[in-house]
Chain A
Amino acid sequence: MGIVQIVAVILILVLLVKPVGTYLYYVFSNEPNRTDRIFGGIEKWIFQLGGLKNRKGMSWKKYAISFLSTNVVLVAFGYLILRLQGGLPFNPNGIGEMEQTLSFNTVISFITNTNLQHYSGETGLSYFSQMAVITMLMFTSAASGFSVAVAFVRGITGKESLGNFFEDFVKAHTRVFLPIALLVALTLVALQVPQTLNPTIEVTTLEGQTQQIAIGPVASLESIKHLGTNGGGFFGVNSAHPFENPSPLTNVIEILSMWTLPASLPYMYGLFARNKRQGWGIFSAMMVLFVLLLSLNFYAESKGNPAINAMGIDASQGSMEGKEVRFGIPQSSLFTAVTTAATTGSVNNMHDTQTPLGGITPLALMMLNNVFGGKGVGVINMLMYAILAVFLCGLMVGRTPEFLGRKIEAKEMKLIAIAILIHPLIILGPTAISFLTDLGQGAISNSGYHGLSQVLYEYTSSAANNGSGFEGLADNSTFWNMMTGLVMLLGRYISMIAMLAVAGSLLRKKPVPETIGTFRTDNGLFTGILIGTVLIIGALTFLPVLVLGPVAEYLTLR
């Protein structure tokens, strides 16, 4: 039954890819279509109020500056609210203002679509902050990432320009995130996720004790948290909390909410490239890597923890430490794989408690950072690997590599090399620094090899803008707030800007006609080479550290 329900969810996803990808193409191709009639009115009004009547195509630099400036303004606003939340409205539980470095970490975390949380929502945020800062940044960071992805796709498929950032940014809100978020939020309420502004409830339990039950506007945050692949929970334990994720059905809805948009982007890319097979090729590469890593987690978690199984109890359910009964292994395993593949970072089971081999899955998916990937970033990263694969093949046969009819030359390869190398650098460097300092080491809560995994996970999650954690780590300190804050910033913006530059550079090149000698990028052979490239680069960079952490723990626990 376990495998059947996993396959069922994957099938639903595959069925959704085509319609959703087509819709996204309609939204961002900027050609007149039926969706204009529904959304044109409100957009016109927003553009008018924003002084954006004139929306010309932008150069890559202008696009990057618009994207960055908007993010800076939003972050500044968010920081102010967090520092002042004690005196602002919608604060029935009387929560005070947030400390400086924690506020810094929190706004960076949400604008970079990471949603690493060093606070606990129930006790650290007023309802106003949950809405005007957290929910708002969940929308805007997702829309920002989406816009950059669309611009990148326009660049490499040779449209007239990269497009206009503000137009993409607004359309991502009005035509994608806001309407779908409202729909999903109300569906979740129907399935018992709370949505209220009332304060914490106090009840007397069956055994006569007092129980305080934290509650709030959960559903509206929950839906955009997944749709925007954000992942920051309303409550400390995120989607493991019965109010955030009360049943297996809500679990499936949340999985599909975070998975469908990133999985549809390759199809949208295929439409932009006027070659759907290109899109399916990229999608297949992602799906193959996903299924491989999901299987590892499902197998390891079903088999359970040998140390506990040895106690002679009935362990047929698998490793249940840190998991919820309603989800069991299949729904937990699938959620873990999707949330780290799509770099959402919400969790419905505690990744820290997973078996050593099971814990490799979330780590590896974030290290690769291109298997579906977060709002927009995944498809950019996978296309970057596609260009690298073309380049490697070009080297082997001694031809100038081409991608979609454009020559790949030194400038693009340098930018791609920067984007590929920055990711391991900001994971492994800070991990090493943390082990060299007492400030870093002091946070580790599980001794031995697992401690290494905890620190490694924290930085991998920050760099991949995922936001889940091996949450035993005591990470709310100045050291961890600042370190992970910087890693999140670098992880988000360096590769995005580099890839916008690649798109800008490719856009200016003259297309070369396709000949018999052209290396095709829309067949099974190329998909295979792409998977190989991703795995080889990933293994070369991260295998040694994985051996020191989870693999060593597995060997000692066996």
Chain B
Amino acid sequence: MEKVSKEATEQESVSKGAFLFSIVRLSAIMIILCGIVYPLASTAIAQVLMPSQANGSLLKNSEGKVIGSELIGQKFINPALFHGRVSSIDYKAESSGSNNYGPSNPDMLQRTKDSVTQWKTNNPEVPISRLPIDLITNSGSGLDPHISPASAQVQIPRISSLTGISKDTLEELVKKHTEGRDLGLFGEERVNVLKLNKDLLELQAK
């Protein structure tokens, strides 16, 4: 009787060891499959079939030099160019982020007031009632490449008087760069500031 129960415990401890060993082996398989094979296979397929997208949709100028990624916004301070959204990280794309100011945060309200004052100085022709909210608020990523079409339009008078390019030409340019909703339904109409400024500079160079 005693012998039988001893055998049973032995068998149980053996199966317990086997159970744990199985778990370790199964985990190792999953680590290799999900952690190594899957991402590397995705990378290989992506690099072969869609290299331009897979490498960050880089944008080149007429001389073939990379000037940025069409997806990542850039900082523009030159008043003769279109400006993008507020970025607390100054569009430094080695990281990403924003201040996460709550709606009642006094620093955020002060920053917005300052932006409005600055707008009045730099754009005397456009009243603040036409200043769209996206131009004076921080994007979530701090890297937003877009502004709304209205935000591009209100900058036209300033740019026109600084560059001498006619308002109509600039209107055309903004219209050309206005991207519609995806599939005509999803998201918002938008203008890519980097692409817009690239064309604007080429126009100025002519």
Given A313-B116, A314-B132: A173 touches B30 (CB 8 Å cut-off): yes
Whether A243 pairs with B71 at a CB distance below 8 angstroms is: yes
Q: Is there a chain B Cβ closer than 8 Å to A456's Cβ? A: no
- State the Cβ distance, A306 to closest chain B Cβ, in Å: 9
Report the separation of the CA atoms of residues A243 and B142 in the bound assembly, to the nearest whole angstrom: 12
Contacts of B147 on A, CB cut-off 8 Å?
325
Chain A contacts to B: CB under 8 angstroms: 1, 4-5, 8, 46, 49-52, 66, 69-70, 73-74, 77, 120, 122-123, 131-133, 135-136, 138-140, 166, 169-170, 173, 178, 181-182, 185-186, 189-198, 200-201, 203-207, 209, 211-215, 217, 219-221, 224, 235-237, 240-243, 246-249, 251-252, 304-305, 307-308, 311-328, 331, 347-350, 352-356, 445-450, 453-454, 470-472, 553, 556-557
Whether A311 pairs with B116 at a CB distance below 8 angstroms is: yes
Contact with A along B65-85 (1 / 0, CB 8 A): 111110111111110010001
Of A51, A204, A314, which is within 8 A of B131 by CB?
Answer: A314
Contacts of B167 on A, CB cut-off 8 Å?
none
Whether A207 pairs with B74 at a CB distance below 8 angstroms is: yes
Given A304-B133, A325-B134: A350 touches B54 (CB 8 Å cut-off): no
Contact with A along B123-149 (1 / 0, CB 8 A): 000001111111011111111111110
Q: Which of B2-10, B98-106, B156-164, B168-176 participates in binding chain A? A: B98-106
**24 A–B contacts from the bound complex (CB under 8 Å):** A50-B22, A69-B20, A123-B94, A132-B31, A132-B35, A185-B46, A189-B50, A193-B53, A203-B67, A212-B94, A217-B43, A248-B181, A249-B186, A307-B109, A311-B113, A313-B129, A314-B131, A322-B140, A324-B144, A325-B139, A331-B187, A352-B102, A353-B100, A446-B102
Contacts of B129 on A, CB cut-off 8 Å?
312-314
Q: Is there a chain A Cβ closer than 8 Å to B57's Cβ? A: yes
Whether A328 pairs with B22 at a CB distance below 8 angstroms is: no
Contacts of B104 on A, CB cut-off 8 Å?
307, 356, 446, 448-450, 553, 556-557
Whether A220 pairs with B42 at a CB distance below 8 angstroms is: yes
Report the separation of the CA atoms of residues A326 and B67 in the bound assembly, to the nearest whole angstrom: 22
- State the Cβ distance, B166 to closest chain A Cβ, in Å: 22
Report the separation of the CA atoms of residues A144 and B90 in the bound assembly, to the nearest whole angstrom: 41
Q: Is there a chain A Cβ closer than 8 Å to B203's Cβ? A: no
Contacts of B31 on A, CB cut-off 8 Å?
74, 77, 132, 136
Whether B25 pairs with A209 at a CB distance below 8 angstroms is: no
Whether A213 pairs with B46 at a CB distance below 8 angstroms is: no
Most buried by B among A139, A242, A347, A557: A242
Whether A178 pairs with B38 at a CB distance below 8 angstroms is: yes
Report the separation of the CA atoms of residues A355 and B105 in the bound assembly, to the nearest whole angstrom: 11
Contacts of B148 on A, CB cut-off 8 Å?
317, 325
Contacts of B35 on A, CB cut-off 8 Å?
131-133, 135-136
Whether A120 pairs with B187 at a CB distance below 8 angstroms is: no
Whether A219 pairs with B100 at a CB distance below 8 angstroms is: no
Interface size on B, residues (CB 8 A): 103
Given A196-B47, A350-B100: A311 touches B139 (CB 8 Å cut-off): no
Report the separation of the CA atoms of residues A324 and B73 in the bound assembly, to the nearest whole angstrom: 11
Report the separation of the CA atoms of residues A215 and B77 in the bound assembly, to the nearest whole angstrom: 25
- State the Cβ distance, B55 to closest chain A Cβ, in Å: 5
Contact with A along B10-53 (1 / 0, CB 8 A): 00000000111111111101110111101111110111011001
- State the Cβ distance, A355 to closest chain B Cβ, in Å: 5
Of A186, A195, A206, A353, which is within 8 A of B201 by CB?
Answer: A206
Chain B contacts to A: CB under 8 angstroms: 18-27, 29-31, 33-36, 38-43, 45-47, 49-50, 53-58, 65-69, 71-78, 81, 85, 91-106, 108-109, 112-113, 116, 128-134, 136-148, 150, 181-183, 185-188, 190, 194, 197-198, 201
Contacts of B45 on A, CB cut-off 8 Å?
186
Contacts of B77 on A, CB cut-off 8 Å?
207
Q: Find the A residue at minimum CB distance from B34.
A: A139
Whether A321 pairs with B43 at a CB distance below 8 angstroms is: no
Report the separation of the CA atoms of residues A308 and B23 in the bound assembly, to the nearest whole angstrom: 56
Whether B103 pairs with A355 at a CB distance below 8 angstroms is: yes
Q: Find the B residue at minimum CB distance from A213.
A: B93
Of B38, B43, B49, which is within 8 A of A181 by CB?
Answer: B38
Query: Top 4 nearest A-B pairs by Cβ distance?
Result: A248-B187, A136-B35, A472-B100, A328-B188
Contacts of B109 on A, CB cut-off 8 Å?
307-308
Contacts of A219 on B, CB cut-off 8 Å?
42, 46, 54
Whether B27 pairs with A317 at a CB distance below 8 angstroms is: no
Contacts of A319 on B, CB cut-off 8 Å?
103, 133
Whether A237 pairs with B96 at a CB distance below 8 angstroms is: yes
Report the separation of the CA atoms of residues A444 and B97 in the bound assembly, to the nearest whole angstrom: 17
Q: Find the B residue at minimum CB distance from A69.
A: B23
Q: Find the B residue at minimum CB distance from A200.
A: B94
Contacts of A356 on B, CB cut-off 8 Å?
103-104
Report the separation of the CA atoms of residues A49 and B30 in the bound assembly, to the nearest whole angstrom: 11
Most buried by A among B31, B112, B146: B31
Whether A326 pairs with B188 at a CB distance below 8 angstroms is: yes
Whether B188 pairs with A325 at a CB distance below 8 angstroms is: yes
Given A166-B22, A198-B55: A206 touches B103 (CB 8 Å cut-off): no
Contacts of A237 on B, CB cut-off 8 Å?
96-98, 140-143
Report the separation of the CA atoms of residues A446 and B104 in the bound assembly, to the nearest whole angstrom: 8
Whether A5 pairs with B185 at a CB distance below 8 angstroms is: yes
Whether A215 pairs with B116 at a CB distance below 8 angstroms is: no
Report the separation of the CA atoms of residues A46 and B25 in the bound assembly, to the nearest whole angstrom: 10
Contacts of B55 on A, CB cut-off 8 Å?
194, 196, 198, 215
- State the Cβ distance, B160 to closest chain A Cβ, in Å: 19
Of B39, B94, B183, which is within 8 A of A220 by CB?
Answer: B39
- State the Cβ distance, A508 to closest chain B Cβ, in Å: 23
Of A207, A224, A354, which is within 8 A of B75 by CB?
Answer: A207
